[in-house]
Amino acid sequence: MQEIKENPNHQIYEIFPTVIYRGEIECHQQFKEKYLEELCKYWHWAPELPRQELTSPENSGRYFLHHNKKYKEFFDCLVTNVRQYLKVLLVDDSKLNVYVTKSWVNIHEEDSPQIKIHNHNCANISFCYYMQCNESSDKLCFHQTKNPNEVSGFMFEKTINSDNNLITSYNKYNCNQYTVSPIEGTVILFPSSLLHSTLNLVPRTINRIGIAGDIMLSLKEGYEKSEFSMIDPSTWRMF
């Protein structure tokens, strides 16, 4: 993306930015060496389903990794990153409980389709941990349906090699999508409502293997009177 050159006589106010957080999973190397093969089998080779049907973890129903006590160290590292993410937003995370509601294994092979645009409407925060990847792995792509800076209809649309384009290049002010490159051993955290997909730009030379999932936040005991988050599920009653 092309950046705007600063001019001391001009001022640009960058308001309402969306935060995508990348953090390090400190136990990554040990976790990968110990559980990579096992985690692949958790979903990828589900014996009760034909291989061609395994296009999504939801097809196998295997999205409860967080209930396996063997993986506790990873999820502890994940929650540490969640709390750092909240601190970036100047949120007092000491008042909040962090719940992992879903977690599953994602495997992208040489011939795997790209993940289509979607969001996770049953969660607050979503995450993607890169357990194995390299520079050929698909990028994580975030989308917005309408750029608020597009003050004239389709002004930011661009056709290859067309003299009719109004924009000369894309930057953070005129784009409707933004890509993040995978880095092994890191986790990406973002609002679950944010539209996202994967983008394959070069031939894959390695299977991208990771853990993805969803997180809910709730108020800790003693903050029931607050209206600024969801009350903790421990107070709920099913009828």
Q: What is the CATH number of the domain that holds 64?
A: 2.60.120.620
**Residue 4, domain member (yes or no):** no
* Domain enclosing residue 125, as ranges: 21-218
**Residue 154, domain member (yes or no):** yes
**Residue 15, domain member (yes or no):** no
Q: How many whole angstroms separate alpha carbon 107 and alpha carbon 99?
A: 24
**What's the pLDDT score for residue 108?**
87
Closest CA to 115 of 101, 131, 128: 128
**Residue 7, domain member (yes or no):** no
**Residue 235, domain member (yes or no):** no
**What's the pLDDT score for residue 42?**
76
Map residue 36 onto helix, strand or coil. Answer: helix
**What's the pLDDT score for residue 233?**
93
**Residue 11, domain member (yes or no):** no
**What's the pLDDT score for residue 65?**
93
Token pair in block for residue 98? 């962090």
Burial class (CB in 10 A: 0-12, 13-18, 19+), 220: middle
**Residue 16, domain member (yes or no):** no
How many domains does one find in the chain?
A: 1
- Paired with 186 in beta bridges are 24
**Per residue of the chain (239 residues), what is the pLDDT tens digit?**
555 566 677 888 999 999 999 999 999 999 999 999 999 877 655 555 555 555 556 566 778 999 999 999 999 999 999 999 999 999 999 999 999 999 999 888 888 888 899 999 899 999 999 999 999 999 999 999 999 999 998 899 988 878 889 999 999 999 999 999 999 999 999 999 999 999 999 999 999 999 999 999 999 998 888 889 999 999 999 99
Q: Which residues of 193-214 are buried (b: 16+ CB within 10 A; e: fewer)?
A: eeebbbebeeebeebbbbbbbb
**What's the pLDDT score for residue 109?**
84
**Residue 210, domain member (yes or no):** yes
Q: How many whole angstroms separate alpha carbon 175 and alpha carbon 149?
A: 9
Cβ atoms of 94 and 87 closer than 8 Å: no
